[in-house]
Structure 1
Amino acid sequence: MSSELSTITPLSALLAARSVTSHRVSFKVSEDWQQGRTAFGGLLSALSAQAMRDVCGADWPMRALQTNFVGPVGLGAFHVDVALLRQGKNVRQVKATVVQADAQGVEQVCGILLGVFGTGRPSQIPPRRPVQPPVALNAEAATSLPYIPGLTPNFTQHLDFRLAEGAFPFTGGNDWLTRYHLRLKDSEGVDPELIAIILTDAGPTPALSQAKTFAPASSVSWALELRPVTNVDLAGLWRLDQDTIAYDEGYANDRAQLWTPDGQLAAFGYQVVAVYA
């Protein structure tokens, strides 16, 4: 078996191939971006964010993105229907609905997203910018996570994953946290905001490290908050800090923080993950 799929489609190519018709933006997902029977959730959220920008404007940074994963998005074409809910002087709120036709040609809702865009403005309150905490292993010493067909999701071929703290999934460890150095391999020409969305969702729930055998997991809902960052080295390694705050009855409640290669806080999120173990 080949260690990689024969066709690898960079994120920039997926974005370049999209089509925009009024309030609908259409994309086509290739097999290398799959996560089990659905497309990788971080990719779907990033593409939906791009659709919001296409329809409602890309002049303001995204401040928050809430995603409900309703159903799987299979191979081939899917559409993002965008609606502007409200725009004020500083804040724009946008809804995106991901749909894909089933075998009978009937469009099914696969995801519902709410995006909040906000322009910056002067404030009498001084900035408060978090400092990135230290991690056990630097990028050079961290253990790389390889792509293993049939075990690791297809989309991980697009990522350079290096474990700095915690344990890999299915190793029967005692950790409820993971710390990764990571980057998108094919990031050239991609907006850092979209990269941040993808990378914040890239790591599996730390709860899976407690499992001793393979067990699938699926995101149910995801609340992401983004911070505008500057001068991002697209070829550099970001850092993803994840913690499982609570786990019971097959559901993990996770928190994540994403830092740019030079230590700026780029995003933090909260996620409910269903674990089938």
Structure 2
Amino acid sequence: MSVSDLRAPITSEGGAVTLPADKWLQGRTLFGGASALVAYTAAVRAFPDLPPLRAAQIGFVAPVGKDVETRAAMVRQGRNVAQVRSELLVEGKVALTAFWLFGTGREANAVHAAAKADPWPGAPEENDSAMTDKGPPFIVNNFDIRRAQETQGPGEPIVRRWFRLTDRGELDRVSELILVGDTLPPGAMRAMQRQGPISSINWSFNILDAELGTRDGWWLGETASQHAGAGYSSERLRLWNADGVQVMDGLQSVAVFG
């Protein structure tokens, strides 16, 4: 079952669909990147002439299962920027809400590159495999993961990993970034005093360069807890290609239980 199967049921009209969710489960819900991809697909199929995606704000409201209803609405379409809202409903109630910002490219008046990945962990082929026989179904079934830091277990609240999809199907670049951008566990995992469940509440991100590809499908991801307390962690999520060029920058609020 490829990623294409996950998107296949979604139509331009929206409405009820049944997703092949088993391969993409994270506990009792669809993996956040997969559910975000479904919402994005609903938006771009409803409005197929949109300019490139620049940013998004996603709220993970409730568990998303295989039976969902999709809907999308144009909030505003200006000369250069279009803003679209899409939602996934389960049993008539909103389970995911997303706000997508699409923008036409303009002549640049400010230009500077994002910082390259530092410290550089070495190429993915130079690092050991990780999570080959453990983890939620969406990891075991869909990803090849390599280590990208020496830290294991408790320590500085940062998680870095190389990862790639084992079968990306016919994904366009933006859809791939949405699917993989939320792959890693939060950095707060390394600061937890005892084991317990964790759950993403929201995810906001900017796409820095949607056209930039990567080598052999490899992406370097990082989640870093900026602050944790009162049962929540504020996380920064970053994604680089295999050459260390950053392509996505994001923020996330995570509930830390236990």
TM-score by length of 1: 0.85
Aligned residues: 256
Aligned to 1:229: 210
Residue by residue, what CA displacement relative to the aligned partner does 1:211-230 show, whole Å, maximum 9, x if unpaired?
A: 36532110111111112333
Q: Assess, with a 3 A threshold, how the Cα gap between structure 1 residues 21 and 179 changes in structure 2: closer, same or farther.
A: closer
Q: Measure, in 1, the Cα distance between the counterparts of 2:47 and 2:9.
A: 16
Q: Measure, in 2, the Cα distance between the counterparts of 1:225 and 1:219.
A: 18
Q: Assess, with a 3 A threshold, how the Cα gap between structure 1 residues 227 and 27 changes in structure 2: closer, same or farther.
A: farther
Larger mean Cα displacement after TM superposition, 238-247 or 133-142: 133-142
Contact 1:67 1:223 in 2 (8 A): yes
Q: Decide which of 189, 199, 207 is 2:180's aligned counterpart.
A: 199
Residue by residue, what CA displacement relative to the aligned partner does 1:98-155 show, whole Å, maximum 9, x if unpaired?
A: 1122xxxxx22101111111110113x2421224133353223333222445xx1110
How far off is 1:27 after superposition?
5.0
Aligned to 1:43: 34
Q: Decide which of 36, 46, 49 is 1:55's aligned counterpart.
A: 46
Contact 2:5 2:20 in 1 (8 A): no
Alignment-mate amino acid for residue 35 of structure 2: L
Larger mean Cα displacement after TM superposition, 17-26 or 224-233: 17-26
Alignment-mate amino acid for residue 165 of structure 1: Q
Q: Is 1:156 aligned to 2:148, yes or no?
A: no
Q: Decide which of 114, 117, 136 is 1:133's aligned counterpart.
A: 117
Contact 1:83 1:95 in 2 (8 A): yes
Q: Measure, in 2, the Cα distance between the counterparts of 1:44 and 1:19.
A: 12
Alignment-mate amino acid for residue 144 of structure 1: S
How far off is 1:198 after superposition?
1.9
Alignment-mate amino acid for residue 30 of structure 2: A
Q: Assess, with a 3 A threshold, how the Cα gap between structure 1 residues 234 and 33 changes in structure 2: closer, same or farther.
A: farther
Instruction: Could you list the structure 1 runs, at least 4 aligned residues long, displaced by more than 3 angstroms after superposition.
Output: 23-27, 211-214
Contact 1:25 1:81 in 2 (8 A): no
Residue by residue, what CA displacement relative to the aligned partner does 1:22-46 show, whole Å, maximum 9, x if unpaired?
A: 2447350321100001000111111
Aligned to 2:164: 183
Counterparts in 2 of 1:1-277, with a 5 A limit? 9-15=1-7, 17-20=8-11, 22-24=13-15, 26-74=17-65, 76-101=66-91, 107-123=92-108, 125-138=109-122, 139-148=124-133, 152-157=135-140, 158-165=142-149, 167-168=151-152, 171=153, 173-211=154-192, 213-230=194-211, 232-233=213-214, 235-277=216-258
Q: Assess, with a 3 A threshold, how the Cα gap between structure 1 residues 21 and 199 changes in structure 2: closer, same or farther.
A: closer
Counterpart secondary structure, 1:64? strand
Structure 1: which 5+ residue stretches go unaligned? Answer: 1-8, 102-106
Larger mean Cα displacement after TM superposition, 220-229 or 112-121: 220-229
Alignment-mate amino acid for residue 242 of structure 2: P
Residue by residue, what CA displacement relative to the aligned partner does 1:49-85 show, whole Å, maximum 9, x if unpaired?
A: 11110001254111111111111012x2212210111
Structure 2: which 5+ residue stretches go unaligned? Answer: none
How high is the sequence identity, in percent, across the aligned residues? Answer: 27
Q: Measure, in 2, the Cα distance between the counterparts of 1:22 and 1:137.
A: 45
